[in-house]
Amino acid sequence: MVLGAGVAGHTAASFARRWLDRGDSVTVVSPKPDYNWVPSNIWVGVGLLKPEKVTFALAPVYERAGIEFVQAAAREFHPEGDGEDRTPYVTAENANGKRSKIPYDFLINATGPALRFDKTEGLGPDGGHSLSVCQPAHAAQAAAALDDEVERMRRGEKRRFLVGMGHGTCTCEGAAFEYIVNLEFELRHRGVRDRAELTWITNEYELGDFGMGGMQLRGGGYVTPSSIYSASLFAERRIDWITRAHVSRVEPDRVLYETLDGLQGEQGFDFAMLLPPFSGVGLQAFDRGGAEITERLFLPNGFMRVDADYSPRPYEQWKAADWPRTYQSPEYRNVFAAGIAFAPPHAISVPRKSPNGTVIAPAPPRTGMPSAMIGKAVARSVVDMIAGADAPTRTASMAEMGAACIASAGANPFKGTAVSMTVFPIVPDFERYPEHGRDPAGTFGEIGLAGHWIKIMLHHMFLYKARLRPGWRWIPE
């Protein structure tokens, strides 16, 4: 059973189905009927794509592939079964509120994040004062709001745009970065750039940290930190920035924030796209007797404990080896977590607090390529354990794998650009690479039109792969 049909869950279910015998079943439990290629939500948010171009219905794809699909949200997790039956099961709730027991032999928890707009007063599109691009519907709402702003600017008004992080512990800085540079490009394209004032607000200590502790890139005879490139791009495009900030409240026309030095500030806006912090989805776990064991299986932030080293240690003692390799639960050998659902042992960026004790540091990103690779590795381990292996057979440590990433900086086939990046490894390993924690030969970045062409290619390729069209498995994660 796979909980969740995002990048990690869908990849795990697809490969498990392909590798398992027809006598075995693969069941996906997900509350949403659609698959969403999340990286392209950015383009929905600036009005370049409609939501249906980044989503498709899962049911017919799973039916064709022989995967059972239950559209429901997992609520409870009974890894020992109950008093009547020792078969482990999950309790899932459908849209009508009806709960059902779904038994499993092996479970992959790929439930992704809960979007915690509630962590900041006034944050978010549902009852708050800011917009989001986390989901296609949110992104479409942002696009409609952008159209209104453009109309006002065409009438001669000046408008203020604020984009970034809605809380001091957010992750996915890269996605918001893509949004603000695409927004700037789109405002230029629509001929109203001169009437727009753009500001980036972030919990990063320096621009270009992206929750990965930044990157060091070789070129021109120097090893240059990503902060230099990010500041350069912002200065070139006249985007102002506020770093080291925790947004504490969002009001209809301004945000209040605290910075790492303990100062309070405010920034006015007419249009704000601010990402929320994440947590786990809040699954509860129970033992055979019905006693709650959630704390044994999950960290307080709701993400699932796996084979990582969660011993609390100061930053100086963090090691690459702390990061999980097999993603197996230490409590139950038939339970795994993949993608955002697994609990990282700690952040990647340096942890920091303001004098008031407010944490202002990015959480570690684990989306896209690593999520898919973890999903695939976990699926292989499960398939091998079903075939008789005693323990997981595959590893996919973020401290041993690299990532290739394309960050769109403006979508146009002739004038668009994107930043193409590779890093190796994702989690710096200072024992192996003492200077910067990463292999300088595997860490690279470049901005240009070629990156945009690759981004377009990947959009179509990954949606083709996710639809499980012929040859899908040959497209790498």
Partner 1 sequence: MDPDKTHYVTKPTKRTVFMRTFLPWQAWRFAVINMKMIGMIRLSHRAQHPK
Least distance from C-beta 89 to partner 1, angstroms? 28
How many C-beta atoms surround the C-beta of residue 477 within 10 A?
Answer: 20
Q: Measuring CA to CA, which residue among 37, 270, 277, 252 is closest to residue 153? A: 270
- Closer CB to partner 1, residue 129 or residue 394? 394
Cα 127 to Cα 136, 252, 269, 452, distances in angstroms: 18, 11, 17, 35
Of 353, 370, 352, 162, the closest CA to residue 275 belongs to 162
Kind and range of the H or E run holding 333? none
Q: Taking the complex as a whole, how short is the minimal distance between the CB of residue 117 and partner 1, in angstroms?
A: 29
In whole angstroms, how close is the CB of 421 to partner 1 at the nearest point?
Answer: 9
Please enumerate in sequence order all residues whose Cβ is within 8 A of that of 223, keeping only pairs 6 or more positions apart, or say none: 216, 217, 436, 440
Q: Six-digit token pair at 392?
A: 């997981």
Please state the closest distance from residue 476 (CB atom) to partner 1, in A. Answer: 5
Residue 376's closest CA among 401, 359, 352, 354?
A: 401
Cα(452)–Cα(408) distance, integer angstroms: 6
Residue type, 426: I
| Cβ distance to partner 1 smaller for residue 82 or 446 | 446
Shortest separation between residue 185's beta carbon and partner 1, angstroms: 12
In the sheet with 284-285, reading across from the earlier edge strand, the strands are: 99-103, 89-93, 73-78, 284-285
Shorter beta-carbon distance to partner 1: residue 86 or 238: 238
Nearer to partner 1, 165 or 405 (CB): 405
Query: Nearer to partner 1 by C-beta: 357 or 471?
Result: 471
Task: Give bridge partners of residue 164 from the DSSP assignment.
Answer: 201, 274
Supply the minimum distance, in Å, between the C-beta of residue 11 and partner 1: 12
The CA-atom distances, in angstroms, between 241 and each of 171, 180, 199, 299, 417 are: 17, 11, 5, 33, 21
When the beta carbons of 33 and 402 are compared against partner 1, the nearer one is 402
Quote the least distance from Cβ 242 to partner 1, whole Å.
Answer: 11
Applying CB under 8 A, the residues found at the interface with partner 1 are: 228, 231-232, 234-236, 238-240, 325-326, 369, 373, 376-377, 380, 391-397, 400-404, 414-417, 420, 422, 424-425, 442, 444, 446-451, 453-454, 476-477
CB of 445 to partner 1, least distance (A): 10
> How far is it, in rounded angstroms, from Cα 272 to Cα 140?
14
Alpha-carbon distance of 417 to 412, in angstroms, equals 8
3 state SS of 272:
strand
Given a contact cutoff of 8 angstroms between Cβ atoms, the answer to whether 138 and 131 are in contact is yes
Nearer to partner 1, 55 or 417 (CB): 417
In the complex, least distance from residue 455 CB atom to partner 1, rounded to whole angstroms: 11
- Comparing CA positions, the residue from 173, 247, 249, 180 lying closest to residue 213 is 173
Q: Which residue lies nearer to partner 1 by CB, 88 or 445?
A: 445
Q: How far is the CB of 394 from partner 1 (least distance, A)?
A: 5
Identify which of residues 357 and 414 has a Cβ nearer to partner 1 in the complex. Answer: 414
| Residue number with CB closer to partner 1 (16 or 143) | 16
Q: Give the list of residues 6+ apart from residue 167 with CB closer than 8 angstroms, or none.
A: 116, 119, 120, 123, 203, 246, 247, 276, 277
